[in-house]
Amino acid sequence: MTRLFVSLYLGLLSAIFVFFIIAHLINTYLYVDVENIIRAENFISEVALLEELDAHITPQRRQILLDKIAEYNQSIITAVELDTIPEHIQLALQSQQAWFDDEEFDYFKAFTPVRYFQVKENINHTLLQIDEKVSDITLLTLVSLIAFSCFTWLFGLHQKLKKIESTLVNISQGDLSARAPTKKRFQVGRVNTCLNEMADQMQKILGSHKQLTHVIAHEFRSPLFRMQMILEMLLTAKSENNTVHIKALEDEIFALEDLVDELLSYAKMERAELKLQLEETPIGAYLQGLHEKLLIECKHHLKLTHNTAPTFNALIDNTLIERCITNLVKNADKYGGTKIYLSASVAKNTLLFCVEDNGEGIDIEYRSSIFQPFHQLTNKDKSLGFGLGLAIVNEIMILHNAQVSVTDSEYGGSKFTLALPTKI
C-alpha cells in the first residue's frame, strides 16, 4: 500500500512538472509572444524620442541617453555591425525597427545614418535580481502548496485504502466478521459499503453451505442406517419375509435417488446454471392443462379458479413454472387439508399464481425460513420429503426476477403466491 501511495504521489508531481514545461513550450512557439511585442514597442517609443533629439545633441549626450534607456529597461545596449547580426534577424530588421526574442539577443536600429544595437538583459540589475527572487519564491510556494495538497489528499486516501486492505487480509485469513469502516472520513466512494455487502453475502453463503453440508450428511445418514438395518434383518430373517425386506430396501434406494435428484436440481439453480427458456404462453390454456395433469396425481380435491382473460399471454419458462406450481400443489396435497385451490390473476403488471388449502396453515415465525434448503417443520412423518421443494421454487422465482410468498388463505390454510412480472 505504501508503494502505491509513493507511486501515485510521484506520478502526480511528474504530471504537474510536465504540464508546466508543455505550457511554456506552447506559449513560446505556438502563440504570439505578447510580452516581447510590448517590450519591443516600448523600446521603439523611447528610441523614437531619442531620434527626435539626435539632431540637437552631441554623440556623447546620445550615449548617455542610451545608457539611461538601458538602465530603465534593465538592459545593456551595445552598438554592433550589421554583419554580426544573424541573417534572419537582419531580414526582420528590414521591415521592423526592433527584434525581441526569448532565445537570442534583442536588436534594434536607429538614427541617421542607420546604426544597429544589441540589447541584452543586465543580470546584475537590482530590479531583475529582486524579480528573480520573487519569481523563485512564488514558484517554490506554488509547487510546495501543490505538493502539500497532493500529499495530504493522497495520504488520506492511503490511510483509507490501508483500512480496506486490512479488512481484506482479515477476510482472506478466515475472519468473515471483518468489515471495512463506514464512517464518512474513512470511506472511498462506495468501496467500503460494497466490500461490506460482499462480506455479508460471503458469510451468509458460506454459513448456509456449512449448514447445508450438515443437513445433507444427516439426510443421507438416515436412509443409509435404515438400509443397513434391513440388510442385517435379511441375514437373519426367514426366506418368506425376504420379499418384504427387499421391497423396503428398494424404497430406501429410490428415496436416496430422489434426494440426489433434488440436490442436483437445487445446486444447478443456486449456481444459476439453468438458462430460462422463455415462451409466450397463453395462461388460461396453460393452467387448464396443468390442472388436468395434477388431478391425476393429487389425493385430495383440486379446484381451478383463474381470473386471467382466456387470451392473456405471459413470457415464462413453462417447464420451470410448472415445476413450481407442481411442488406447491403436492405440498398442499400432503400437508394441507382436504381441498386445494389453484388460481391465476393479473394485477399491476404482475402475473399471480396462487396455491391455497384449507389445512392448519403455517405459523408466521416459520414463513421466512421454509424457503431455505432442508428446512422442515416436523420430522414425525417420514414421507415429509427432504425440505428442498420450496427452496427450488424460490430459486426458480429468482431466475424469473420474481417472488414467492406465503400468507393465510381465506379457506383457512396457507396461501402460496408466485408473483411474476408480465415482462421479464
Q: CA 344 to CA 304: how far, in whole Å?
A: 9
**For residue 367, what are the contacts with CB-CB under 8 A and spacing of at least 6?**
406
Residue 295: all three cell numbers together: 388431478
3-state SS, residue 281: strand
| Phi, psi angle pair for 365, to nearest 5° | -65, -15
| b/e 250-263 (16+ beta carbons within 10 angstroms → b) | eebeebeeebeebb
Q: CA 403 to CA 387: how far, in whole Å?
A: 19
Closest Cα partner for 386 from 224, 214, 219?
219
Find the mean pLDDT for residues 292-318. Answer: 81
Q: Provide the pLDDT for residue 381.
A: 45
Q: Provide the pLDDT for residue 41.
A: 84
Distances (CA, A) of 73 to 26, 68, 129, 136: 26, 9, 13, 21
Find the mean pLDDT for residues 392-416. Answer: 88
Give residue-wise pLDDT tens across range 85-134: 998 889 988 888 888 887 778 999 988 888 999 999 888 888 878 888 88
Q: Contact, 329 vs 382, CB < 8 A?
A: no
Q: How far is CA 211 from the centre of its chain?
A: 31
Q: Contact, 323 vs 404, CB < 8 A?
A: no
| b/e 374-407 (16+ beta carbons within 10 angstroms → b) | beeeeeeeeeebbbbbbbbbbbbbebbebebebe
pLDDT band of 376, cuts 50, 70, 90: low
Q: CA 183 to CA 226: how far, in whole Å?
A: 56
Find the mean pLDDT for residues 387-414. Answer: 85
Place of cell 384449507: 358
Give residue-wise pLDDT tens across range 168-178: 998 888 888 88
Q: CA 104 to CA 89: how far, in whole Å?
A: 10
Find the mean pLDDT for residues 47-62. Answer: 86
Find the mean pLDDT for residues 409-415. Answer: 89
Closest Cα partner for 420 from 334, 333, 325, 339?
325
Q: Contact, 363 vs 415, CB < 8 A?
A: no
Higher pLDDT, 245 or 179: 179
Q: Which domains does the chain have, with CATH numbers?
A: 32-122 (no CATH), 201-270 (1.10.287.130), 279-421 (3.30.565.10)
Higher pLDDT, 339 or 245: 339
- 107, exposed or middle or buried, with CB in 10 Å at 0-12, 13-18, 19+? buried
**In the beta sheet, which residues pair with residue 109?**
116
**Mean pLDDT across the chain, nearest whole number?**
81
Q: Provide the pLDDT for residue 383.
A: 46
Q: Provide the pLDDT for residue 207.
A: 74
Q: Provide the pLDDT for residue 29.
A: 65
Amino acid at residue number 383: S
Give residue-wise pLDDT tens across range 255-291: 777 777 766 766 666 555 567 788 888 888 888 898 9
Q: Provide the pLDDT for residue 382.
A: 43
